[in-house]
Amino acid sequence: MAEIKLSLEGEDVGIAAEKLFETTGLQGTWEVATDSQHTKEGTLAVIGTVVGIIGGTVAVSEQIRKWYQEYKKSQKRFDVVLVADDVRVVLENATIEDICTVLEELES
C-alpha cells in the first residue's frame, strides 16, 4: 500500500499537524519526532504518514493549500514537506497541482 510521508518543522507544529489531519481529509498518523528539540520559540519537528484521503484529490489538495496559507498568516515560522516515492513537494511554493501529484501516489 502506498503512503505519503509528511514532515513539519517550526513553531507550534504539533497543533498545526493536528489541525491538518482534522480539517483536510487526510487519513493517517503523526507524532513529534523523538529527536526533536523544543526551543523557546516552540520549534520542533513532526513526522507523519498519510495512508488515505477522504474526498477527491483536488478537493483535498485545495484544503491542504488553504490550511498552509492560513497557518502562515498566523506569523508562525514553519516548513512542510510531502514525500511519496520519487515526488517531494515543499508547500512553501507548491501549487494545488503539485500537491495533487503527491496525493495521486496513494491511488497507485
The reply to whether 91 falls in a domain is yes
Measured in degrees and rounded to the nearest 5, phi and psi for residue 11 equal -80, 135
Q: Which domain holds residue 81?
A: 8-107
The reply to whether 50 falls in a domain is yes
The reply to whether 1 falls in a domain is no
Q: Cell numbers 503527491 label which residue? A: 102
How many structural domains does the chain have? 1
Dist CA 104 CA 74 (whole Å): 29
CA atoms within 13 A on the CB side of 57: 13
* Global pTM value: 0.83
The reply to whether 25 falls in a domain is yes
The mean pLDDT of the chain is: 84
Whether the predicted pLDDT of 15 surpasses 90: no
Q: By percentage, how much of the chain surpasses pLDDT 90?
A: 26
Dist CA 93 CA 53 (whole Å): 22
The reply to whether 3 falls in a domain is no
The reply to whether 62 falls in a domain is yes
Whether the predicted pLDDT of 96 surpasses 90: yes
